[in-house]
Amino acid sequence: MTRPLVRIASRGSPLALTQSRLVRAALAKAHGWAEAELEALAPIIAIKTTGDKIQDRPLVDAGGKGLFVKEIEEALLQHEADIAVHSMKDMPAIQPPGLTIAAVLEREDPHDVFIASDKRPFARLEPNAKLGTSSVRRQAQALRLRPDLEIVSLRGNVETRLAKLARGEADGIILARAGLSRLGIRPDGAEILNDWLPALCQGAIGIELRESNHDVAKLIAPIDHGDTHVAIACERGFLATLDGSCRTPIAGHARLDGQKLEFRGEVLTTDGRNAWTVSRAIPLTAANARDAAEAVGRDAACEILERAGDKLPRF
């Protein structure tokens, strides 16, 4: 009987399981595993997190984005799993002692898409239309452009939110393009919001493990996408310095253009009336790319802290 080489902890949503299978497929390609052996070599353990269980109120009222990872990280720390697969946008800025993000897959398009029940673009929504979202970032960005909109809380996975839109619970919703792409869902009339900065780390899949698990770290190393990991380091530096949580309307996107790192970030008030933006572009060397990228994110955040002063949202 084949013994597992790596046990994968994952949320149980369709998107989370799809992402875990992407990680497993990348490992299979890197190590030459036969498809028939994947379930035995790398079983996926579905874990229902507190964030998945709470569907009757916004996560900001229940404790924040860490609710999507707490039980999964506990499985790692209790040696019930060897790696955890996360949507990096769900990860708090600070990890529990003993855990680390060892690898990230190549990032999908990080932008949001807007989907209206009548297929019209965001700018042409009817006055006082209902926008369904539980993201304070999306709320703030939408209200900055359209202060007339009524924001209605909309929880649930991708399929659930699309069903709620179809039932008329909202006139439009905003979803991550990466999630739709990975699920193979292509809604009619979806508008890519290229001019909106996305959630920090949106579109990136992270692989977390125990720092002491060197054998698994070596197993995972070949599937790490270096440029994505560097970009994520910058965005998480920005997040950590701003003490960002899902209560904070914060957005940003880092990317590498050759050996140059480019970053744009912003923080808003929840009503969208105030916003502070920042940008950076610096050369990087391979030797210190991640540390330098994180420092760029932290420096950009410090600029916003200084400029915004007491007006910056505090929670």
Cα–Cα distance measured from residue 243 to residue 174, given in angstroms and rounded to the nearest whole number: 24
DSSP strand pairing (150-152 vs 130-132): parallel
SS3 257: strand
Q: For the chain, what's the residue count?
A: 315
Question: What are the backbone angles phi and psi of residue 313, rounded to the nearest 5°?
Answer: -60, 135
Dist. CA 293–CA 301, nearest whole Å: 13
Contacts of 4 (CB under 8 A, 6+ apart): 40, 41, 42, 43, 82
The verdict on whether 224 is a catalytic residue reads no
H or E element, residue 116: strand 112-116
Which pair of structure tokens corresponds to residue 143?
């209200």
Q: Which of 90, 148, 188, 224 is catalytic?
A: 90
CB 230 within 8 A of CB 256: yes
CB 234 within 8 A of CB 261: yes
CA-atom Rg of the chain in angstroms: 20
Structure tokens given for 153:
């809380």
Contact between 278 and 304 under an 8 Å Cβ cutoff? The reply is: yes
Q: For residues 132 and 109, is the Cβ–Cβ distance under 8 A? A: no
Residue 118 backbone phi and psi in degrees, to 5 = -105, 10
Which residues are known catalytic residues?
90
